[in-house]
């Protein structure tokens, strides 16, 4: 793998993902790359980003989306082979500050889940608004 600066079309000096240490890259293809989250929710938590600096998932082109999802599927297969305790995944994108995005470079989270890693996982990504996670509390 080349240095990150050689693969970026746009490199913003203040973007931590545009200036990612190349040694952190796990996989890459023409338009995207993946690396482990520095603050993982669970073991194996991986991020997938476009090589081009784009803030919103909705501004990605079709090549970038396809490239991200290709890496996401490869990582899922690898994690399942490495850890037989993985029984599910959360896939998430925080798009915009009000959705919780703190790094303004589009990134997709793949979060492996294991039986018992929380007392009641029902509602999954609905937990971004805790009082809405349980379907029972929404009646």
Q: Which residues of the chain have pLDDT under 70?
A: 1-12, 136-139
User: What pLDDT is recorded for position 25?
Assistant: 97
Supply the pLDDT for residue 130.
81
pLDDT of residue 127: 81
Question: Residue 32 — φ and ψ, nearest 5°?
Answer: -150, 170
pTM of the shown model: 0.87
Domain spans of the chain, in order of start:
4-118
Neighbours of 100 (CB within 10 A): 11
pLDDT score recorded for residue 64: 98
Strand arrangement, sheet containing 108-114: 25-28, 32-36, 46-50, 108-114, 86-92
10 touches 55 (CB < 8 A): no
Q: What dotted CATH number matches 4-118?
A: 3.30.428.10
pLDDT at 113: 96
Active site positions, annotated: 107
């Amino acid at each position: 793998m080349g240095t990150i600066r050689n693969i970026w079309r746009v490199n913003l000096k203040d973007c931590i993902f545009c200036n990612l240490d190349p040694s952190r890259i796990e996989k890459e293809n023409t338009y995207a790359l993946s690396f482990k989250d520095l603050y993982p929710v669970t073991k194996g938590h991986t991020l997938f980003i476009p090589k081009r600096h784009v803030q919103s998932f909705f501004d990605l082109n079709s090549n970038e989306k396809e490239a991200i999802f290709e890496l996401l599927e490869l990582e899922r297969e690898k994690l399942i082979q490495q850890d037989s305790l993985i029984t599910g995944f959360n896939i998430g994108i925080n798009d915009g500050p009000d959705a919780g995005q703190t790094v303004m470079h589009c990134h997709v989270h793949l979060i492996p889940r294991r039986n018992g890693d929380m007392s009641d996982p029902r509602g999954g990504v609905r937990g971004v608004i805790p009082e809405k996670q349980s379907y029972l509390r929404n009646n």
